[in-house]
Structures are given as structure tokens and as C-alpha cells.
Amino acid sequence: MKEFIEHGLNQNRRKFLSKLSLGIGGMALGSLMIPGIFDASNEEDLFNNVLPHFAPKAKRVIYLFQNGAPSQLDLFDYKPMLQKMHGQDLPASIRGGQRLTGMTANQTKFPLAGTRFNFTQNQNTGAYFSETIPHIASISDDLCIIRSLYTEAINHDPALTFFQTGAQVGNRPSMGSWISYGLGSENKNLPAFTVLLSKGKGNGQGVYSKLWNNGFLDSIHQGVQFSSGEEPVKYLSDPEFIDRTDKRKMLDELADLNQESYKEIGDPEIVTKIQQYELAYRMQMEVPEVTSLQNEPESIVKMYGPDCLLPGTYAANCLLARKLSESGVRFVQLYHQGWDGHNNLPNELIGQCKDVDQPSAALIKDLKQRGLLDETLVIWGGEFGRTNYCQGALTKDNYGRDHHPRCFTIWMAGGGVKPGVYGETDDFGYNINTLPVHVHDFHATVLHLMGVDHEKFTFKHLGRRYRLTDVAGNVVKEIIS
Amino acid sequence: MIFFKKYKLSFVLIFIVTLVAVGTYFFAFSNAKAKKPISYNKDIRPILSDKCFSCHGPDVNKMKAGLRLDIQEKAYAELPNNKGHYAIVPGSIEKSELIRRIESNDPNIVMPKPESHLARLTPAEINLFKQWVKEGAKYEKHWSFVAPQKTAVPKVSNTSWVKNEIDYFIAEKMEEKGLSPNKEAEKENLIKRAYIDLNGLPPAYTELQTWMSNKSENWYALLIDQLMNKPSYGEKMSVLWLDLARYSDSYGYQDDNIRTQWPWRDWVINAFNKNMHYDEFLTQQIAGDLMPNSNKETILATAFWRNHKYTEEGGVIEEEYRVTNNIDKTRTYGKAILGVTIECAQCHDHKYDPFSAKDYYQLYGFFNMSKEKGYEGDVSVSTPAKNPKLFISVEDRKNLLTYINTKDTNQLEVSVMGDTIRPTYLLSRGRYDAPADLVQPAALKSVMPFDTTKFERNRLGLAKWTVDKKNPLTARVFVNFIWQDIFGKGLVKTSGDFGLQGELPTHPELLDWLAVDFMEHNWDIKYLVKKIMSSATYTQSSIIEKQHLEKDPDNSYYARAPRIRLKAEFIRDWVLSTSGLLNNTIGGPSVKPYQPKGVWESTTSGRGQLAAYKQDHGDALYRRGMYTFIKLTAPPPSMMMFDASNRDQCEAKRSSTNTPLQALNMLNDPAVLEASRVLAQKLSSETGSIEDKIQKAFELILIRKPKSSEKDKLVGYYQDQETYFKSNKGLIQKTLSTGEYKTVQKDKNELEAAALMKTCLLLYNLEEAITKS
């Protein structure tokens, strides 16, 4: 019976598309125009996947992923108690049964490490910022700071995978792929989901393409890597012996020959192929324009810092993220390596912050001055937190911190979030006192801001309906403006 | 990657689409109703599974109101929370609570409950249930868990079309739908198709001529035999298996270092080439180390299990990853070999299929006996294989494992299987640190009982159970994968899921016939492939007429041969082979051809041997696509653009997209540019008119003669290019120096070669060039 329904749907969507003069070959085009329709095996998926489910607050997302896990205790979650008890053992009652990574599991002592840095407090919101991030502190009136994020994973790979795909293992679609699938792109010449990569000087943890993979969704929803260098998208540049006029000629000739074979063979995929070559041609025009940072005015360069003109830096990627987002890219996913401070953390942190602080703040200010901050959700954070006790040797001003899943801080700005501080950890910065936010809750909230009900937004694959939030997740309503 | 936003339009569209769809559906339903009595498996169970089983199915922990609808006795029983009432009373619509619930408009009564987000049943579905109850509400065992039977081929009216048994089954359905098959494909089309499906390569120019002029009656059968005997047959067939077996060249977690599993890949190629029968093929891979006559070759086969990722991240908990790795093995076994998704039962009883958590951990128990550790240290102490390992010496390669192709004189090491004694516990909610009851290894009893008098409680027993001819799944699943590989989709479209939530076969009797026939011929893979390729269903033309698009747009009834874009690896092979660049060495360590800058460098942590991409040079640049090095965390981009598996997990079916990134790839990939250049230079050095040269390029790439209109256009394009280069002389050298390949002969006519290069590039970019049609 399902077969009949599908059959009926197939027939009719094809009739439609041909009436829209896309031709039946417009199939692939249609799948983004009408998100989910081709995968809908029954009318329920069809209706559930009509997006957005309600008016969105955020139209676009820029996710500044701080890969390796920055220390919340040295940046946002100020704990004078740790400074007071510096060097004393973490009370067993606080640690509870928390499992430890292989790196500190054999430690006999867990000496607390108070932060070496001074903190300032925002008088309006009560948020704390360490001296290493003055620029971020300067925009604190715009920030929604969640100090009570938690996760189950204690190693980088599963933790990152969890944040990006809603599951620690498995080949599930990335957040950006879900958004691409659900909402499509606002710019027909650019992909809905783009990825930017950079590295800091601190101890790094690699990234992997699975993080921006489409999983079981169609591969058109895979994140497309962009950069501001010579070749912003792979295979975008023509060889030096082919210029634009020449390329145009080749495409016309191709279209002509393909059209001839379409007339004979009748396969709609041929028409799609012609359209995709045209789209590729338009991308070749549009992408370099968007990714070129050379024409940015002096004031912008000053705002993001001089590194923003060096392709592949975090600063350049923040600026590029703004430009892509401004051009209608739905989901810009940025990764910055170097936060994995198992030892020598304070010194590495200073270096990381030098790269990250100014451009992160500049992005918020820049979006704001363009009137885009209201409709753009910016997210800043890592895959878990770091321990309050020291890994390795503890001295007065140097220490390392291991992975800590039980509490950590992320911040968001714009896109319908309420500035302020949400959630609280205990005096040791080890456990959450109030308002815990799980990774699933975080996903549910981001989807909600995009106008998507995370429980209804499903994709049926091998007999099961999958969601970004798996079978859990609650929207954190309190942080929505 | 298509970038559209049309919310408003989409709302309207969906509304209208649905209206029309519902209309069509009623129509279809009334037809169906008039014809046959209701079948539980075909009509009722898919709806129950989709809409009811998540609360009233096999998962007893999630069961609501004590009601189970997947088992007949439970569904007929008195409702525990509602004495005197029954969910289903056979024969009585009025007394069946189920009917009242699905029909109700009261949100407190209607099922499925509104908060489940499952849409309510359509009027047509409700009618189906009513009729089913009226007819006695008979349950049937799930179709794929019942052993296949060979039925007599159906009677058909178009007897002149049919070539073998397959066609009878296909014709019957086609006639039912009022469709008629296409006429036989052109000879050159058949040649192209056979080369693609059996070798993944184009015919050489002379081969094409030879076959075209072969007028013997059985030329096509001869062609199949000849292609099956070429070593590239094994390469072609392996790609499907490498996806299922998640083969790669690196460990896959974030510090993604090199590993040596490729000798296993060469074992697979060799197995297909010597036509190892499927039962043996499976037995060696499942339990080659435990076979009575086990040797290094059969042990190498078990590397199949160890292809999964392996963490080298500092500080992980060993047991967590040992469990993760065994879960991967269990999933791979389920999906690749039995075509069932059992991973749901890892955390709870399966919601749709009759697999309990206990069943899952019993199956998992076979793999849990492996000696391996979940972690052997971080990337700084990385080794090319993890314990247990097979060491392959130069001697071994001389004597037994002759197909392992490397000049390396060191002994190779491969991760393989080897068992120890280790008890298995059911893990609560799938957590490695929450062991509960002790379980004994056993295969899935709802598929076929695991009779311990016949089967050992180890992988050898599992292998025997798997290839037992009474096993209802093994043959069906493999036959379906082969069908999928040839026709682009399986007879069961969800080729990795033959369970209750999977799709029903479009041609159940044909699937069963093929499965039984395959077993009757002792699981002979070449026999199976030849059988399918000899059918009229396969050899018909792929022309798409109006009737096809109207009556059967998805080609579910095979009234035409499919047109399918080549798999990523074979696109590369096509380009290299037609240009004459292909290096047809078989096997050996994977190679690193051209790749855009920064793909590895931008993702790496900087640790391990694969931090930077060190491109190969010379011959290694021209190996077949299947030998391109797969670094799991940054797989080869051109392959990924054409939907290759990322090999992260067992993959049963690749998608087939048509995107602008693919266009960019075919136009700008140095490999395609180089091939166009080399082919052009070769043609230019030959004697003959430019028309002849263009015609030859066309035939080489498209495997047919151009029509005169096509040839005119191409010659016109060539002449334009000549004019262009005349006024841009500086570009000629640039055009002729693309790629690293050094042409020995100096170009006699550089202008001609350059203009031909552009013409060849154009040809490679035609839709038809990379399409099986």
C-alpha cells in the first residue's frame, strides 16, 4: 500500500515540476525547494517536514566551534574557591563517581587548580570574563552565557561528534546538514551549509569530515569546505588556459549536445545535468566575490585585526563567516583547534585567546552594525569543559586540566537569544547547581530558534525516524527573547 | 547542493501534491481491494509497524497499556487495562477496540496519539484494517524470515520477449501495469553496459571493433564469459563489498594514522576473480581462523571484521572502545550479511523487529570473544595493525598469498581475528560499564533457530548458521545486492533492511526464485551475475518514453533498462582508461593521486604519518579509483563528490546525486584535464583527418559512433578552438603541459593537439560519458 502512495506522490510531484517548467529533470532542484518531499514515504512526513514549523527568530547560524575544549574555569566560570584551595585535593564528595579519562585515571591526587587570571564582571548581567578575553568582555551586553552545559562524552572524538550530529558514534547527519535539508539556502548560487577550518597554536585536536557529513541525508546536504585562499571551494578555479568566455562557449556546446541526447533518450537527469553545469558556472562567479577579503574597508580590517587578511586564520574565517552569512548561507560552521590544555594551560590559553578574542567579538559587532545580528545566531563553545583539578605538575601559576563533561560554558548571541547568564555550577566548578542544559537541549533550542520543532523534524532511514535530538531534548525557553 | 528557498511556493505545492496524491491513492486502493484478499504482510503489517509498534511492539519496556500488536495471541487477548475489551476480535469490526481507536476523532481516544507526531491513519488505511478484521485478522510471519521457495515461473502473454526465468516474473508485473518492455538495446550499448558491470572499465578501441564485428549468435554470452575472466572483474565486484565491509586505509578517529588492511582488499579481489562461491566467501571472512583447514589465507579473510575504526586518542577508556568496536562488528554482520538493522536492540528490545536486547548480545557474544583490546596506546605508538595480527612474510607472498602485490620486503601486518575466552553480558542501555545478565553466543533465533548440536558457539558456528540453506536471509540479501549493483536499486529497495520497517520487495517471487536458484547452484556468484545479465530485462534499451514516466517514473517495473551514473571510482577509471593513462596493476598499498591542496592538512591535529598529503608521482598517479588512499577523517574529495561511501560504517547503498560540485570536478580536476591532454596528443600523433580523430575520441569515450549532427557540432567546436589558440598562442603550451605525465613524442602539430584537448575535455563532460545506458 505504501508503494501505491509513493507511486502516486512521485507521479504528481513530477507533473508539478514539469508545469513549473523545471522539467522532470528539476527533481534534484525540487528536493530543496520542497524540503523532504522526495523522502516522504507517507503524508505524515510530508506535513511534519513543511518548514519552518513556526516563525523563526534566527534565519542563519554561525557556529564558532572551539575544538579541543576551552577551559571554562579560566574564561567564564569564575571560582574564587579554587584559588583559595589551590593545591588541595578535590573532595571525593564533589567528584562523586565521575569517570576519568585514561590520562588522569591513575593520578593518586586531584589537586585543585585556581585560575591564574583576573576576572571582571559585567554589572548588568553578572557575567564574568577573564582578562584573556577583553574583546569578548566588551560585547558582554549582547551575550547569552550558559554556564551549565553538560555532556556524557569524555573524549574529543565522541564529544565533538555528539555536538555536531546528536550521537557520539554513528554516521548521522551534522546539524548543518539537518538545517540544509530542512530549510535550504537563501542564495541559489551558494550552498546552504559551509565549513571553515583554522588552527591555533595550542595543543590541537584534529577535525574530521564526518563532523560535517550528511549521514543518511542526500549528499547535497554535506557541508562544503570554504576558505579565503586562492581556491575557496575545491575544483572551483578554471585552469589558466581557460577563460570565462571560453568556459561559456564550452558550456553552451555541452548543453547543446546534452540536449540532443535528451531528445533521443528522454532521461530527465540529462536536463538536471545541464542545469547543474549552469549553476557551477554561476558559483564560479559568485564564490570568489563572497570569499575575497581584499576589498574590505580599513575599519573592518581594524575591527577583526590584521590577521583577517591572512587566509586560513581564525580572524579571516570570522570575517568570511560574516560575508557568507550575509550572502544567505544558512549554516556557517567554523572549527578552531588548539584548546586541549592538558598541561601548560595558562600559557597556551593566552595564545589561543590572542587569536580568537578579537575576531569573535568583531563578528558580533560587525553583524550588529549591519543590522544582521537579530536574525543571525552566533554560537561560541567547545565539546566539553576542563577539570577543576590539575593534570600533571601543579605550580603557583602553571597547571593542566583534563576533560570535564559535567559542566562547561558556551555563549550565544543574536538570533533571538536573551542576553544574560543561565545556569550555575557549584563553588568548585565541578557540578551543576541549577538549570542544567544537555547537548540534546542545546540542539532542541537552536532548532527552535530556527523555527523548527525538534520532535517533528524527522527523517526516516532504514525503518526508523531519526531526529537531531535522538529521543530527548527540551527547548531552553528561558534564554529565548 | 542546490540552493533554493521558496517557502510559500512549497506550502502550496505540498498542499496540491497531497490532494492529488490522496486522490490517486484512493483510486489505487479501490483497485487493489477489488482484486485480492487482504494480506497481513503486504497490507497490514507495514502500517502496524510504522504507526503502532513503537508502543505496542517487540520492545516490552516501552509497551503501553500492556498491549502488543505484533504477536497474534497477544493482540487477540483481553486488554489488561480494559477488562472485557479486546484490541482485535477476528471477524468483528464492532468488537475490535483497535478499529474504534484508529477511527476516532477524539484526541483522547484516537491512535496513534497526537503527541506521537505520527499522522493518523488515512481513510483508506482504516478500510484496510476493517477488511482485514472482517476476514479474520490473520497474522503471517514476516516474509523475509520465512525461507524462500522457488515457484513456477508465471504465465505471460509476451512470450517472444522473455529470455530466461527472470523475464517471466518481470513481464507478469509489467503486463499487470499495462507496460510493455523496450526493444533490445543497440549492440554497442550492450557492450558498454557489460564492460561497466563486469569490469568497471570501457572497452579498448580494438576490443570494441572486435565485438562489433563478431556476428556469432552467442556473441553476448561469449562477451560475458570473457569479461568475467579478466582480472578487472574482481576489482569491479569488490567495490560493492568494500562499502559493506567499510574498508579504509587509516584508523579513522581524530589522530587518524595509517593502517595496513589492504592485503585483505586484495584477498577480496582474488576471491571474486577465482569465483569463490558465496558460502565459502562468507565462511572464510566470518571464521577463517577457526576453520579446520585454516591457514594464513583464511585468517587474512577475517580482517573483514577488523576494518572498523580504531581509536588512538590519548586517554580513552579501553573497555569503552572494545565494546564500540564489537558493536560495529555486530552491526556490519547484521546489515551486510543478513540485511537487518539490529543496532536498536543494543539499548532496548527492537521496536519493530523481533530482536530482543538478549538476542542482540547473544550475537554480539561471537565477536566479544575476540582477543583484541579497545585501545593499544595513542598515535605516538601507532602500529600498522592491531592485535591479533597476521604477519605476512615475503615467503608467504611467494607461496600462498601470491596476489599480494608489494615490493616491500618487510613483513606485512594485518589486523585479523583470534579468539580467547571472554564471557558476554547483556549491557544495560548499551553501556559498556553497565553489564547485566550473562548470555551465551547465539545467532538470531527469529531468523532461524541456532541449533547448538549443529553449530558451535563461536564464529565458525555462526558462519555455518549464516550459509545454511535454510537461512531465509543470506541468499536473498546477497542476490538483492547484486541486483542493486546492476539495476541501481534492489528488488528490496532498502537493501540493508529486510526487517519489518524495510520496504517490501517489488517482485517477491523473483527475489525468492533467484535466491533459491543461487543456492541450488552452490552460491556461484558468476552464475548469478550471468543469469541476471542474460535476461531480456537487462538487455533491453534504456530509452525513456512518455509511457514510462507516466506509469512508472521510478522504473519499479523494469519496462526499460536503467540509466545510472557510474560510481565515483569508475568515473576515474573511465577517464584514465580511455585516455590510455590507466595503470592496470592490481592490488597493493593504496596510492595518492592528485588532490586539492590542504584537504589533509586543514583537518589534522599534526600527529601521525598522515598529517600532510604526500602526493605520488609517475605510474602511481594512474591507478584505478578503488586504490585511491582513503583517509577516513578526510576522504578523497572527488570520490565524495560523486557519492562514494565515506567508509565510516557499513554502507548498503550509495546515493546518486547530480550536483554543481560534480560539474566543477569534471571540468577542473587535474586528472580529467591531464587525461584530455594525453588523449589529444595521442590522437594528434596519428594519421588521418581531424574529423577521423574527433570521431575516434567520441567512440573511445562514448562507446558508439557519433551521429552526423553530433560530429558536425564537435568539429565546429574544434575549429573554434583552433581559431582561439591561433590568436592566443601563449596558451598552447600551457594546455599541453597540464598534468605530470610526460609524453615521449614531441607534438607534430601543437595547435591541433591543444584544440583537440579542449574537444576531449568536452566529451568527458557529456552526461552520457559517465552514464551506463
Contact A466, A458 (CB under 8 A): yes
| Residue A35 scores a pLDDT above 60 | no
What is the mean predicted confidence (pLDDT) over B457-475? 98
- Side chain identity at A143, as an amino acid letter? L
Burial annotation A155-180 (CB, 10 A radius, 16+ → b, else e): bbbbbbbbbbbbbbbbbbbbbbbbbb
- pLDDT of res. B282: 98
Decide if A280 and B667 are in contact by the 8 Å CB cutoff. yes
CA B609/CA B631 separation, integer angstroms: 11
- pLDDT of res. B433: 92
Burial annotation A346-356 (CB, 10 A radius, 16+ → b, else e): bebbbebbebb
CA B438/CA A415 separation, integer angstroms: 51
Min Cα separation B670/chain A (Å): 9
What is the mean predicted confidence (pLDDT) over B489-506? 91
What is the mean predicted confidence (pLDDT) over A56-71? 97
Give B316-345 pLDDT, tens digit per residue.
999 999 999 999 999 999 999 999 988 878
- Which residues on chain B are in Cβ contact (under 8 Å) with A201? none
Contact A262, B771 (CB under 8 A): no
| Residue A43 scores a pLDDT above 80 | no
What is the mean predicted confidence (pLDDT) over B150-159? 93
Beta-carbon count within 10 A of B84 CB: 6
Question: Is B424 in a helix, a strand, or coil?
Answer: strand
CA angle in degrees (0–180, nearest 5) for A272-B758-A251 = 30
Contact B658, B565 (CB under 8 A): yes
Decide if A462 and B550 are in contact by the 8 Å CB cutoff. no
Give A269-305 pLDDT, tens digit per residue.
999 899 899 999 999 999 999 998 888 999 999 999 9
CA B469/CA B471 separation, integer angstroms: 5
Nearest to A191 among B1, B502, B709 (CB): B1
Decide if A209 and B761 are in contact by the 8 Å CB cutoff. no
- pLDDT of res. B42: 83
What are the residue boundaries of the structural domains of chain A, listed by start?
Answer: 51-228+293-479, 232-291
- pLDDT of res. B4: 36
- Which residues on chain B are in Cβ contact (under 8 Å) with A187? 3
Beta-carbon count within 10 A of B746 CB: 8
Decide if B640 and A222 are in contact by the 8 Å CB cutoff. yes
Q: What crossing angle do the helices spanning B670-685 and B568-579 adopt, rounded to 10°?
A: 20
| Residue A39 scores a pLDDT above 90 | no
Termini Cα distance of chain B: 25
User: What is the three-state SS of chain A?
Assistant: CHHHHHHHHHHHHHHHHHHCCCCHHHHHHHHHHCCCCCCCCCHHHHHHCCCCCCCCCCCEEEEEEECCCCCHHHCCCCCHHHHHCCCCECCHHHHCCCCCCCCCCCCCCCEECCCCCCEEECCCCCCEEECCCHHHHHCHHHEEEEEEEECCCCCHHHHHHHHHHCCCCCCCCCHHHHHHHHHCCCCCCCCCEEEEEEECCCCCCCCCHHHHCCCCCCHHHCCEECCCCCCCCCCCCCCCCCCHHHHHHHHHHHHHHHHHHHHHHCCHHHHHHHHHHHHHHHHHHHHHHHHCCCCCCHHHHHHHCHHHHCCCCHHHHHHHHHHHHHCCCCEEEEEEECCCCCCCHHHHHHHHHHHHHHHHHHHHHHHHHCCCHHHEEEEEECCCEEEEEEECCCCCCCCEEEEECCCEEEEEEECCECCEEECEECCCCCCEEECCEEHHHHHHHHHHHCCCCCCCCCEEECCEEECCCCCCCCCCHHHEC
| Residue B126 scores a pLDDT above 70 | yes
Min Cα separation A267/chain B (Å): 6
Q: What are phi and psi of B736, to 5 degrees?
A: -90, 5
Decide if B710 and A185 are in contact by the 8 Å CB cutoff. no
| Residue B479 scores a pLDDT above 90 | yes
Q: What are phi and psi of B473, to 5 degrees?
A: -105, -40
Decide if B658 and A272 are in contact by the 8 Å CB cutoff. yes
What is the mean predicted confidence (pLDDT) over A388-392? 93
Nearest to B673 among A9, A197, A239 (CB): A239
Give A175-209 pLDDT, tens digit per residue.
999 999 999 888 888 989 999 999 998 887 888 88
What are the residue boundaries of the structural domains of chain B, listed by start?
Answer: 36-140, 187-228, 248-460, 668-772
- Sorted by sequence, the CB contacts under 8 Å of residue B243 that are 6+ apart come out as B645, B647, B650, B651, B652, B654
Nearest to B664 among A12, A169, A236 (CB): A236
Which residue of chain A has the CA closest to B497? A462
Min Cα separation B235/chain A (Å): 25
Contact B344, B430 (CB under 8 A): no
What is the mean predicted confidence (pLDDT) over A442-454? 97
Decide if A28 and B32 are in contact by the 8 Å CB cutoff. no
Nearest to A235 among B20, B499, B669 (CB): B669
Decide if B20 and A35 are in contact by the 8 Å CB cutoff. no
- pLDDT of res. A461: 81
With 0-12 CB in 10 A as exposed, 13-18 as middle and 19+ as buried, what is B423? exposed
What cell does B61 get?
Answer: 519496556
| Residue A38 scores a pLDDT above 80 | no
| Residue A31 scores a pLDDT above 90 | no
Nearest to B502 among A10, A276, A463 (CB): A463
- Which residues on chain B are in Cβ contact (under 8 Å) with A276? 658-660, 662-663
Interface probe for B, chosen from A196, A237, A253 (most Cβ of B below 10 Å), is A253
Min Cα separation B575/chain A (Å): 17
DSSP one-letter string for B456-509 = -SSHHHHHHHHT-TT-SSHHHHHHHHHHHHHHSS-SSSSTT--STTSPPPSSHH
Give B348-396 pLDDT, tens digit per residue.
887 777 889 999 999 999 999 999 999 999 999 999 999 999 999 999 9
- pLDDT of res. A414: 97
Decide if B256 and A12 are in contact by the 8 Å CB cutoff. no
Contact A389, A90 (CB under 8 A): yes
CA B301/CA B286 separation, integer angstroms: 8
Question: Is B85 in a helix, a strand, or coil?
Answer: coil
DSSP one-letter string for B669-737 = -HHHHHHHHHHHHHHHHS-S-HHHHHHHHHHHHHSSPPPHHHHHHHHHHHHHHHHHHHH-THHHHHHHT
| Residue B568 scores a pLDDT above 70 | yes
Average pLDDT score over chain A: 87
Decide if B766 and A254 are in contact by the 8 Å CB cutoff. yes
Which residue of chain B has the CA closest to A269? B658
CA B94/CA B293 separation, integer angstroms: 64
| B12 band by pLDDT with thresholds 50, 70 and 90 | very low
Decide if A155 and B658 are in contact by the 8 Å CB cutoff. no
What cell does B2 get?
Answer: 542546490
The model carries a pTM of: 0.86
- Which residues on chain B are in Cβ contact (under 8 Å) with A204? 605-606
| Residue B169 scores a pLDDT above 60 | yes
What cell does B399 get?
Answer: 607461496
Decide if A192 and B1 are in contact by the 8 Å CB cutoff. yes
Nearest to A246 among B50, B604, B724 (CB): B724
- pLDDT of res. A40: 35
3-state helix, strand, coil in chain B (%, to 5): 50, 5, 45
| Residue A26 scores a pLDDT above 80 | no
Contacts across the A-B interface (CB distance below 8 Å): 353
Q: Give B746 or B586, the one with higher predicted confidence.
A: B586
- Which residues on chain B are in Cβ contact (under 8 Å) with A238? 667-668
Q: Widest CA span of chain A, in angstroms?
A: 82
| Residue B250 scores a pLDDT above 60 | yes
- pLDDT of res. B342: 87
Nearest to A14 among B503, B506, B549 (CB): B549
CA A10/CA A13 separation, integer angstroms: 5
- pLDDT of res. B11: 42
What is the mean predicted confidence (pLDDT) over B118-145? 91
- Which residues on chain B are in Cβ contact (under 8 Å) with A186? 3, 5
Min Cα separation A265/chain B (Å): 5
What is the mean predicted confidence (pLDDT) over B753-764? 98
Quote the percentage of chain B above a pLDDT of 90: 81
| Residue B405 scores a pLDDT above 60 | yes
What is the mean predicted confidence (pLDDT) over B413-438? 95
What cell does B382 get?
Answer: 601507532
Give A95-151 pLDDT, tens digit per residue.
888 888 888 888 888 999 999 999 999 999 999 999 999 999 999 999 999 999 999
Nearest to B668 among A16, A237, A455 (CB): A237
Give B263-309 pLDDT, tens digit per residue.
999 999 999 999 999 999 999 999 999 999 999 999 999 999 999 99
- pLDDT of res. A327: 95
What cell does A370 get?
Answer: 549591519
- Which residues on chain B are in Cβ contact (under 8 Å) with A280? 660-661, 663-664, 667
CA angle in degrees (0–180, nearest 5) for A424-A430-A431 = 55
Q: What separation in angstroms does the CA of B47 have from each of B39, B502, B758?
A: 12, 12, 55
Contact B556, B549 (CB under 8 A): no
- pLDDT of res. B500: 80
Give B35-57 pLDDT, tens digit per residue.
578 889 888 988 998 889 888 98
Which residue from B381, B402, B378 is spatially nearest to B392, judged by alpha carbons? B402
- Which residues on chain A are in Cβ contact (under 8 Å) with B499? 463
CA A9/CA A440 separation, integer angstroms: 34
Quote the percentage of chain B above a pLDDT of 70: 95
- pLDDT of res. A49: 55
- Which residues on chain A are in Cβ contact (under 8 Å) with B253? 157, 208
- pLDDT of res. B346: 84
What cell does A352 get?
Answer: 589561543
CA B286/CA B283 separation, integer angstroms: 5
Decide if A1 and B124 are in contact by the 8 Å CB cutoff. yes
| Residue A321 scores a pLDDT above 90 | yes
Q: Give A106 or B694, the one with higher predicted confidence.
A: B694
What cell does B384 get?
Answer: 600498522
Decide if B710 and A183 are in contact by the 8 Å CB cutoff. no
Burial annotation B187-220 (CB, 10 A radius, 16+ → b, else e): ebbbbbbbbbbbbbbbbeeeebeebeeeeeeebb
Average pLDDT score over chain B: 92
Nearest to A283 among B4, B544, B660 (CB): B660
With 0-12 CB in 10 A as exposed, 13-18 as middle and 19+ as buried, what is B428? middle
CA B330/CA A100 separation, integer angstroms: 27
Decide if B661 and A235 are in contact by the 8 Å CB cutoff. yes
| Residue B59 scores a pLDDT above 70 | yes
Min Cα separation B226/chain A (Å): 29
Contact A113, A83 (CB under 8 A): no
CATH 3.40.720.10 fits A51-228+293-479, yes or no: yes
| A229 band by pLDDT with thresholds 50, 70 and 90 | confident
Q: What is the ipTM of this complex?
A: 0.89
